[in-house]
Structure 1
Amino acid sequence: MSPLPETVPFFSQWETPDMTLDVLAEGAEIALRRDPLWQGSGAETLDEYAVWAANICGMACLKMILASRGEIVPTIELARRCTGYGGYVVTERSIKGLIYAPFVSFVQEVFGLRAEVMTNVATAEMPAILERSRFFIASVSSWIRWPEREPPSKGGHLVLVTAASAKGFRFHNPSGHTSATQANAVLAPAEFDRFFANRDISVEI
């Protein structure tokens, strides 16, 4: 296996990364029908893309992990495959997920990634976790894109943490709305803690 790149590739959960504010204003199923790059998602139709894209922050994180070792797999292709393992529950009215335990089985069996669901994780423990694992996918509030604001709750969104120390956490946010809040965003531990739901999936490659 080739060495990991110093910079982990970034991918948004929408194919055109600067559409976040449109998605927030109009809803994904409306805004993303204007995404000119939608076919890069692996969706078979524009309808499939518009329905799925708001639910695949976890698949965007997985896509980044795989890209760090030279594999590029479209996000909705990943979502379809993960659904086969129970990582998503799809009905006519909703998509529920990401469900962590089936996701762990999926990435282990399909990609050979060593992953572990971790709960009740204190923010202060995260640097030590990253000493043992290459990445962790952290459950945070989507409001982490606005660190100056107080989030209404914690969790509900996933970001890929690539480095952590007592000075700061570096992460890729699949639904960041500016370049500064997308790739290699950095927050002090106390700031990250305001959004962190104390759950994550550690991943080794």
Structure 2
Amino acid sequence: MTVATTHHVPYFSQWESAALVPEFVSGTTAAADDPLWESSGADTPEEYAFWAPRMCGMACLRMALGHFGQPVPPSVPLVREALTAGAYVRDGDQVQGLIYAPFAAWVASRWGLFAEARPQLSVDQVDAEVSRGRLVLLSVHKSIRTLDPQPKARGGHLVLAVGSGPDHLAIHNPSGFPEQSQQFHQVPKADLGRFFAGRGVVLGRAQ
């Protein structure tokens, strides 16, 4: 049986105004109108608006950096570094990524952390990694924020596993809803399978 483990990990949304995530997701407020967009380090609201919906991986990385005692860069400069490292590939308005292998190599070389791409990852393996003090980026469907009973797919969005128990995983969700599914959101393991694509990246202190 899994012993309950929860790490004290800081939370960052992929949007600067975490309280407005429901409005950004629904489209009632444009990302370019985020009153805190400058905190992202973007040069313009338009640059921020392009990347904010795509920055779940960078938000997870920022959380992990804070947890492991590293400086936490603003999100858009981090995206620029990730592009240079090949963790994202941009072609006009199209972006491929997060690409796990170059992402893991970049994290390891840049911050000296343990970082391992895991193209095959089970829930039991996530439990084991969390229990040994690591954090795990999980590829899930974005509708995990409301535990949608019928998600359209698995994967496509990244969340950070920060804890586990016998019947649940605790996640920080960069696009979660405030007071509902942003921080330490307990997702029943019985529900996880319909969202989780069975892959991710394990992050930890250097071995």
TM-score norm. by structure 1 comes to 0.91
- The 8 Å contact of residues 33 and 50 in structure 1, kept in 2 or not, is answered as yes
Q: Which amino acid aligns with 2:121?
A: V
- The 8 Å contact of residues 143 and 149 in structure 1, kept in 2 or not, is answered as no
Q: Partner of 2:194 in structure 1?
A: 194
Partner Cα distance (1:89, 1:119) in 2: 19
**2:167 counterpart SS class:** coil
1:149-160 alignment to 2 at 5 Å? 149-160=149-160
Structure 1 runs not aligned, ≥5 long? none
Give the 3 Å change call, closer, same or farther, for CA 61–145 of structure 1 in structure 2. same
Greater RCO structure (CA 8 Å; 6+ sep): 2
- The 8 Å contact of residues 133 and 202 in structure 1, kept in 2 or not, is answered as no
**2:87 counterpart SS class:** coil
Structure 2 runs not aligned, ≥5 long? 1-5
Aligned length: 199
Q: Which amino acid aligns with 1:21?
A: P
Q: Partner of 2:51 in structure 1?
A: 52
**2:199 counterpart SS class:** strand
Q: Partner of 2:114 in structure 1?
A: 114
Q: Partner of 1:181 in structure 2?
A: 181
Partner Cα distance (1:120, 1:134) in 2: 17
- The 8 Å contact of residues 141 and 195 in structure 2, kept in 1 or not, is answered as yes
Q: Which amino acid aligns with 2:125?
A: E
Q: Partner of 1:129 in structure 2?
A: 129
Residue 149 of structure 1, CA deviation: 2.7
Q: Partner of 2:3 in structure 1?
A: none
> Please, what is the CA RMSD of the aligned residues?
1.8
Q: Partner of 1:105 in structure 2?
A: 105
Partner Cα distance (1:125, 1:104) in 2: 18
1:48-87 alignment to 2 at 5 Å? 48-68=47-67, 69-87=69-87
Q: Partner of 1:33 in structure 2?
A: 32
Residue 133 of structure 1, CA deviation: 5.0
Residue 198 of structure 1, CA deviation: 0.2
Runs of 4+ with deviation above 3 angstroms:
none
- The 8 Å contact of residues 133 and 203 in structure 1, kept in 2 or not, is answered as no
- The 8 Å contact of residues 7 and 162 in structure 2, kept in 1 or not, is answered as no
- The 8 Å contact of residues 86 and 99 in structure 1, kept in 2 or not, is answered as yes
Q: Partner of 2:24 in structure 1?
A: 23
Partner Cα distance (1:163, 1:193) in 2: 17
Residue 70 of structure 1, CA deviation: 4.9
- The 8 Å contact of residues 33 and 45 in structure 2, kept in 1 or not, is answered as no
Partner Cα distance (2:117, 2:42) in 1: 28
